[in-house]
Every structure is written in C-alpha cells, then in structure tokens.
Amino acid sequence: MTESNIRSVGVIGAGQMGNGIAHVCALAGYTVYLNDVTPDRIKAGLATINGNMARQVAKNVITEEDRKNALARIRPAETLEELSDCDLVIETAVEKEEVKRKIFAELCATLKPDAIIGTNTSSISITRLAASTDRPERFIGIHFMNPVPVMELVEVIRGIATSDATFETAKAFVGTLGKTIAVSEDFPAFIVNRILLPMINEAIYTLYEGVGNVEAIDTAMRLGAHHPMGPLELADFIGLDTCLSVMQVLHEGLADSKYRPCPLLVKYVEAGWLGRKTQRGFYDYRGEKPVPTR
Ligand SMILES: NC(=O)c1ccc[n+]([C@@H]2O[C@H](COP(=O)([O-])OP(=O)(O)OC[C@H]3O[C@@H](n4cnc5c(N)ncnc54)[C@H](O)[C@@H]3O)[C@@H](O)[C@H]2O)c1
C-alpha cells in the first residue's frame, strides 16, 4: 500500500497525544475515526481539538473553513470494529504494554488485512508489540512529539519484521502531515528521548549534588546553551513520572548504570509532585508565577 491509498486513519486513545494526532490528520485531509474507552473521553478529545483549531484560526495558521472541514472529518468511534475499514490505525493509548497488547488483539480481529498498524509508544519495543499482532510486517512505530500540532518532528521506527512497503508508506504519510522524519532503530527510548531524558536526569543530579539551585540550572541552560526552556522547567512540562519511567526503560533496557534515575527525581515522584499537571514539581505553579521548590 502506498500513501496514495491511505484515506482513513483510526486513532486509538483520545488523550493528549491522540487528540493531537487526530487534529493533524484531519487537517491534512484524512478521514479520522477517534476511539477511546468511553464516549465522554472521545467527546473531551474532540473539544480539545476544537479549541486548539480555534486558536490556530485566531493566529492565522489555518482558516475558519479549514477548521470546519477538518472537524467534520473526525468521527467518534466507540468500538474498535468501527475502525475495521481504516487504511492505517495509530494506537496511542496509555503507555502500558498489557493495555496495548489487548487493544491489538481486539483490533486485529476486525481490521482489514492490508491495513497498517502504527504505535505512538515512547518506549516499548516495536518488535515486541509487532509480534503480538497478526501482521508484524505491517506494523511500525510512528512517534509524534508533544504538542503534536506544533512540533515538527516524527520519529519512524521499524520493528525487525516491518516490510519496506510499510516503512515507505509510513514515511510518505508523515510527510503529508507536514512533519519532518527522523528514522530511529528500535532501541529503548529511540533518538529524542534517549538524548533528552539523560540530559534532564543530569540536570536533576546537578541540583541533587548542590552544584546549582533550580533557578541557576535553568538560567544556565537557557542563556548558556540557548535552550528555549531550562531542563527542570522542561521536566515539569513533560511530567516527572514520565521522565522517571523513560529513565527506567533506558536503565533496564540498556543495562548501563549511566542511565540510573536520580534519587531526587524518584523522591519528587513519590511525593506526587509530578510537575505542571499536579501544580508542583521543580517549580510550584499554585501562585501567579512559578516559584522554584529548591
Ligand atoms: N505525553 C507525551 O509527551 C508523549 C509523547 C510521545 C508519545 N507519547 C505516547 O503516547 C501514548 C499516549 O500518551 P498520552 O500522553 O496521550 O496519554 P493520555 O493519558 O493523555 O491519553 C491516553 C488515552 O488512552 C485512553 N485509553 C486507555 N486505554 C484505552 C483502550 N483500551 N482503548 C482506547 N483508549 C484507551 C485513555 O482513556 C486516555 O484518554 C503513550 O503510549 C505515550 O507513551 C506520549
């Protein structure tokens, strides 16, 4: 199958990433079937897409007509059966292997045989996930960045069995979304997170060892390395639980002590201080301005 015969895209999971993926696919002209565990979650995903597209209209990134047409292309799908005629299905449910495996088992039972399955996993082996389906040769990693409508990159990851045709189709498909591709081999955390998370972890060690405080570390990297956000600010944005789980995947998957998660990161996660989403992490977001917590 080539990109020219991808017309419809199924998206499983309407969370942070799923609604972004549905958003960019619909704007690119694909018919999108958006699935989640409850109708309310799908509705919430659609509401987010609507709001984000309205913001793009206000900023003149898209027209009001683009927004209307794109929204009309997104169909809520309460069951996976409704995705059975899709040419490509992208799984972007929670980062739990058993959940993804269960989804694939149910999906493969009804999905047409020549359809491609993509996964947006940040860390689980593509080869292992592919092996749990009936079509490892038509299975591939398509890893979007957060927030999807804004970030330019998509990592494309082949499993050991992914066919050349699937690889070419996935690359062409990503191109039609206006994104740039980086091809990564199937190793823990792929490219972006393999480099980014150890840097963030090192920034937390720098804090833990008292080399600098939160403000000094973030200022140093913003002004000294021209990073748009300091590493601790960025950790809070990503979510400290997510940062910890990526470091654990690197540590276990590569069995190298250089990836050991900083004990201070573990402590913040144990405290439930997960960053912006819980209003407290390396900064406290409960007041008007973020205040460093160390
Ligand atoms: N957050 C990021 O920065 C980021 C970046 C790239 C990739 N990812 C990956 O994307 C995936 C989704 O992450 P997210 O941040 O959108 O999480 P999220 O928690 O915002 O959304 C996950 C959604 O999946 C739904 N879901 C759970 N089980 C399901 C099932 N059986 N069927 C259908 N839907 C189900 C949940 O109800 C939820 O709405 C994960 O694999 C994650 O690793 C995340």
The pLDDT value given to residue 4: 58
The pLDDT value given to residue 211: 98
- Architecture of the structural domain at 192-292: Orthogonal Bundle (1.10)
Which token pair is 8?
């419809």
Please name the residue ranges forming H helices in the chain. 16-27, 39-58, 64-72, 97-108, 126-131, 164-176, 192-208, 214-224, 231-238, 240-254, 263-271
Tell me the residue length of the chain: 294
Query: pLDDT tens digits, residue range 24-64?
Result: 999 999 999 999 999 999 999 999 999 999 999 999 999 99
User: Of all atoms in ligand 1, which is nearest to the CA of residue 122?
Assistant: 43
If one residue of 17, 238, 278 were mutated to test the ligand 1 pocket, choosing by the most ligand atoms within 8 A of its CB, it would be: 17
Which token pair is 210?
């008292």
- Architecture of the structural domain at 3-184: 3-Layer(aba) Sandwich (3.40)
Is residue 95 scored above 90 in pLDDT?
no
- 39: CA distance to ligand 1 center in Å? 16
Query: pLDDT tens digits, residue range 247-290?
Result: 999 999 999 999 999 999 999 999 999 999 999 999 999 999 99
* Domain range annotation of the chain: 3-184, 192-292
Separation between Cα atoms, residue 244 and residue 6, nearest integer Å: 36
pLDDT class of 127 with cuts at 50, 70, 90: very high
Active-site residue, 193 included: yes
Predicted TM-score of the model (pTM):
0.92
